[in-house]
Amino acid sequence: DSGVTQTPKHLITATGQRVTLRCSPRSGDLSVYWYQQSLDQGLQFLIQYYNGEERAKGNILERFSAQQFPDLHSELNLSSLELGDSALYFCASSAQGVLEPQHFGDGTRLSIL
Amino acid sequence: GENVEQHPSTLSVQEGDSAVIKCTYSDSASNYFPWYKQELGKRPQLIIDIRSNVGEKKDQRIAVTLNKTAKHFSLHITETQPEDSAVYFCAVDSGGGADGLTFGKGTHLIIQP
> Please, what is the Cα angle at A108 between A102 and A111, to 5 degrees?
140
Tell whether A58 is within 8 A of chain B (Cβ). Answer: yes
Tell whether A44 is within 8 A of chain B (Cβ). Answer: yes
CB atoms A56 and B100 under 8 Å = yes
B97 chain-A contacts, CB cut-off 8 A: 98
pLDDT exceeds 80 at position B99 = no
* C-alpha distances out from residue A39 to A42, A75, A105, Å: 6, 23, 19
Q: How far B37 CA sits from the closest chain A CA (Å)?
A: 11
A107 chain-B contacts, CB cut-off 8 A: 43
pLDDT exceeds 90 at position B94 = no
A33's CB contacts (< 8 A; 6+ apart) are A45, A46, A47, A48, A91, A92, A93, A94, A102, B99, B100, B101
CB pairs A-B closer than 8 Å: 65
Q: Which residues in chain A come in under a pLDDT of 70? A: 98
Question: What is the predicted pLDDT for the residue at B97?
Answer: 59
Q: Tens of pLDDT along B60-92?
A: 999 999 999 999 999 999 999 999 999 999 999
Higher pLDDT, B96 or B112: B112
- Per-residue pLDDT band for B98 (boundaries 50, 70, 90) equals low
**Chain A CA closest to residue B32:** A99
For residue B76, give the amino acid letter. Answer: H
Measured CA to CA, the distance from residue B55 to residue B62 in angstroms comes to 14
Q: Is A9 helix (H, G, I), strand (E, B) or coil?
A: coil
- Per-residue pLDDT band for B96 (boundaries 50, 70, 90) equals low
